[in-house]
Chains A and B, each alone.
Chain A
Amino acid sequence: MNNKQSLPPASAWRRLVAYSIDTALFLFGLEVLLFQVALARDVTELLTGLSSLVVLGLLLYTIGYMLYVSAFTTWFGGTIGKLLVGVEIVDLGGSRISFRRAFFRNYIGYMVSGMFLWLGFIWIFIDKDRRGWHDMVSATQVVIKSAHRWVLGVVALALVITANISYIRSIRSIVSGNMPLYQDVFSDVSSELSKAMKTK
């Protein structure tokens, strides 16, 4: 019998910490891209940066993130957040799941859970096995692999949140420094608009 079959289910709070770490890391990635846009010194760089933000940030980053989540779940049993808090996604027999099942769980399953006021996620608090709807539809469970690692998870969460806040502050100060550029762009557009309105 696989040892993981007898592992206790992860509590909703532990999973919430894991999810928060993953979200904070995801946002950090987007902030790095936003930082590149903020560094623009003229209109051309600004527009190039914005178009790169759309391409890299909204498209490739999002798609890459989807693949990372499924791949990590297959190879290591969970995303970085889950590994840091000491939990693992396994099937009902206690084994790691395949990439297809992980993709199904993380996208189809998450959509099902989030579809009606996130009731499928809230279900984790109610269910005796601490399974959400995404766990039920993919026949998976989240178990505690390391009971005391939640401390590391909380510390990691604090660090990631702090990193996010300081990065956002840096972006904000750079943006404040570049305000003359943005004001120039805004006034260019406004003056063209008002010229056109005055013509008639």
Chain B
Amino acid sequence: MDYGAILRRSFELTKKHKWLWVYGLVLAAFGGGGFNGGGGRGGSSSVTSPKSLPKDVPEHLPEKASEVLGKTTNAIASWLSHVPVTTWVLLGLGILLLFILLLVISSVMRSWATGALIAGVADADLGKDVSLASTTFQGISSIWPLIKLGIISLAVTLGTLIAAAALFGLGYLVFSFSDISKVIWAILAGLVIGLTALVLLALFSITNIYAERLIVLKGSSSLGAWKRGFRLTWRHFWQTVVMGFINSAVGCAVGCLSTLVLLVLLGVPTALLVVPLFQGGFHWPSISVLIALVLILFTFVYLSLAISAVLIVFRYGTWNLFFKEIMNNEQ
């Protein structure tokens, strides 16, 4: 397996087909960056924190605060009791409906972007022209199968965790006739069952990488893709793990470097604006300083998002090319 060639080719495809960055943006915003092990998320906030607290904190603040809150809560409670029950019921239903709608929309967006990106990278590798219009329908047709795959994956993961916990618990009950046997069981079983569960969870995580591509590129059903993906993971476990580590290493390197650059470029002006606010006691910033801080924050957020988007496309490209090699070897 020529990992170097895969990385180079993925870089070329990412650089050339910029329309795929749009899908990367969606996945960066809604999650779904894939098996990445970190990196590429832009890092922490660039705003520096004050070196010391203000000196004029009132005494007995916690006690007073709880008493004040208690009295205010009583007043609010008596007001709230005048609101009709139907309003509360409608409010609860409305919040639930909105929550479900947002959940559905974000699942649909993630699945659509995943499918479209996998298909787009595959088309790009074949030399085809790739655009939003040419890839979106492949993404749309993958929405429901990918959502089902997510449900299968979640069910299997939860099932594994529950089975491990149940096995541990059952053994503990069986060996509870003496303290020594309980301790021995707890240590040995904890290690064995725990490690087995961890290995299985890692396998399931890797299985998704294959399963997604089997669904989008080979038209497999969700369950069929998961099963076949698991078999592929089992057979090519170490190759896949190595690819994952390389992908993560590249992602981390680029992510850390970009975070460092952003921290320098944006952190220095932020510090220059914020530090004077705490000199001689805290005082509120002027409008122009507030606007400048907001602009710096937005710049940081959007640049981080853009870098994450490109990294996600690169990772998907790497996994696609790796998948192609594995399937060629299988044949």
A residues contacting B by CB (< 8 A) are: 43-44, 47-48, 51-52, 54-55, 58-60, 62-63, 66, 104, 107-108, 111-112, 115-117, 120, 133, 136-139, 188-189, 192-193, 195-197, 199-200
Residue B130 interfacial (CB < 8 Å) = no
Interface residues of B, count at CB 8 A: 40
Contact A108 B105 (CB under 8 A): yes
Whether A196 touches B137, Cβ cut-off 8 Å, given contacts A108-B105, A189-B72, is no
Cβ-defined partner of A196 (8 Å) among B29, B64, B84: B64
A57-B133 Cα distance, complex, nearest whole Å: 36
Name 13 extra pairs, CB < 8 A, besides A44-B82, A192-B68, A196-B67: A44-B79, A47-B80, A59-B94, A60-B90, A104-B140, A116-B25, A116-B306, A136-B132, A137-B132, A139-B136, A192-B72, A196-B68, A197-B64
Determine the chain A residues whose CB is within 8 A of the CB of B64 once the complex forms.
196-197, 200
Residues of B within 8 A of A60 (CB): 90, 94
Given the known inter-chain contacts A108-B109, A117-B302, A189-B72, please indicate yes or no for A48 contacting B84, CB distance below 8 A: yes
Q: Indicate which residue in B72, B131, B140 contacts A193 across the interface (CB closer than 8 Å).
A: B72
Q: Is B112 an interface residue (CB 8 A)?
A: yes
Q: Please indicate the chain B residues that have their CB under 8 angstroms from the CB of A108 in the complex.
A: 105, 108-109, 112
Q: Which residues of B come within 8 Å of A, CB atoms?
A: 22, 25-26, 29, 60, 63-64, 67-68, 70-72, 75, 79-80, 82-84, 87-88, 90-91, 94-95, 97-98, 101, 105, 108-109, 112, 131-133, 136-137, 140, 302, 305-306
**Chain A residues near B72 (CB-CB < 8 A):** 189, 192-193, 196
Enumerate the 3 nearest inter-chain pairs by beta-carbon distance, A residue then B residue, closest first.
Answer: A59-B94, A136-B132, A196-B68
